[in-house]
Amino acid sequence: MNKIQSISLISVLLLMNVCATSHASTGLDAHGQMQVVVKADSNEFAYTQLDNGVQIRVGDVVKNVIFYGDDTVRVNVSNGSVFTTQPSLVVIEKPAKVAFTLQQS
């Protein structure tokens, strides 16, 4: 299993438990682009709960999983860099409050 497949599997496992909680970060900048909020050393796994999702980091690879409704999830991946400062032409909605919890095992 390669690094990207591992991150995808971890994302799915983290999202399988759904309940309620809230934290202070959105994981998005003012233009709706991914903003790195979780810090990790190289090859280290780390995650943080966002207001509407979770941000996962393995080394330089950062993944946001953000809820935009009960049936809509936005997943984006980067190397921790912001590639544009323009608002998305595709994502026009704002993240929504969806009850969920994270469980580490």
Q: What is the pTM of this model?
A: 0.71
Question: What does the alpha-carbon distance between residue 46 and residue 37 come to, in Å, rounded to a whole number?
Answer: 11
Contact status, residue 55 vs residue 80, Cβ threshold 8 Å: no
How does pLDDT run across 31-71, given as a tens digit for each residue?
888 888 888 777 788 999 999 999 999 888 999 999 999 99
Where is average pLDDT lowest: 16-25, 31-40, 92-101? 16-25
